[in-house]
Amino acid sequence: MSTPDDDHSELSPLEIRVRALESALVEKGYVDPAALDLLIDTYQTQIGPRNGAQVVARAWRDAEFRAWLLRDATPAIASLGFTGRAGEHMIAVENTSEVHNIVVCTLCSCYPWPVLGLPPTWYKSAPYRSRVVRDPRGVLRDFGVELPEATAIRIWDSTAEVRYLVIPMRPGGSVNLSESELAALVTRDSMIGTGLALTPPPLIA
């Protein structure tokens, strides 16, 4: 942590501006500095896309859970311990060979925090938000993803307080994997729809 004696000469104008704001808010008693550190730590170490990967892996292995997740995602996801801010109203959508789902927030950066954590920079960027609703295949190419021509594309623009989680297609060769091995195949981008789940490494005979 910094101290008041720190030399500010090497700080950027933004760093100085943010420090001034934080100092003013702490001084007025509007924020608890320990709460700030805890909030940052929570999103750096506890709430991230590995949560969502657990949800997907469970859905791949457990048909009853999958049905629950597709029918009523908020309590299904809560049953694994993931609830709250920016995930109060969840909907899960499933990729198949017929339809590929992609999530965006064209108006700001709405994103399912309890299962995916903080959104990546590209998700919040103008290129993604402007292009994906109009030219999703072009955006997918930026991620190195090429879908079969016959696959329909379904875009979910998160314009209200509902948050969307994509259940990617389960890769071939994953029949005998455990839930944690399956979760390791589930990338963040595959749960937004800009990526696919990883293919498991070939079995060593």
Partner 1 sequence: MSYRSHADLGGCTESRPVIPEPEGELFHAPWEPRVLALSLAMGATGLWTIDMARAARETLDDYASLTYYEIWLGGLEKLLRDSGAMVEPPIARPAPLPAAAVAGVLARGWPASRPAQGPARFSVGQSVRTILKRPDHHTRLPEYARGKRGRIERVIGVHVFADASAQGLGERPEWLYTVAFDGAELWGAGDALTVSVDAWEPYLESE
The residues assigned a catalytic role are 105, 108-110
Token representation of residue 68: 């629950």
- List, in order, residues 6 or more apart from 25 with CB less than 8 Å away: 31
Q: Burial level of 153, CB count in 10 A (0-12/13-18/19+)? A: middle
**Residue 42 binding partner 1, by CB under 8 A:** yes
**Residue 8 binding partner 1, by CB under 8 A:** no
Least Å distance, CB 114 to partner 1, is 8
Least Å distance, CB 176 to partner 1, is 26
Choice from 70, 80, 131, 169 touching partner 1 (CB under 8 A)? 131
State which of positions 136-175 bind partner 1 (CB under 8 A). 136-137, 139, 142-143, 149-162
What are 101's strand-pairing partners? 154
**Residue 67 binding partner 1, by CB under 8 A:** no
- List, in order, residues 6 or more apart from 99 with CB less than 8 Å away: 151, 152, 153, 154
**Residue 94 binding partner 1, by CB under 8 A:** no
CB-wise, 27 or 176, nearer to partner 1?
27
- List, in order, residues 6 or more apart from 103 with CB less than 8 Å away: 111, 155, 156, 158, 164, 165, 166, 192, 193
Choice from 59, 73, 117, 168 touching partner 1 (CB under 8 A)? 117
Least Å distance, CB 173 to partner 1, is 23
* Number of residues in contact with partner 1 under rule CB under 8 A: 81
Report phi then psi at 198, rounded to 5: -70, 155
CB-wise, 107 or 178, nearer to partner 1?
107
**Residue 52 binding partner 1, by CB under 8 A:** no
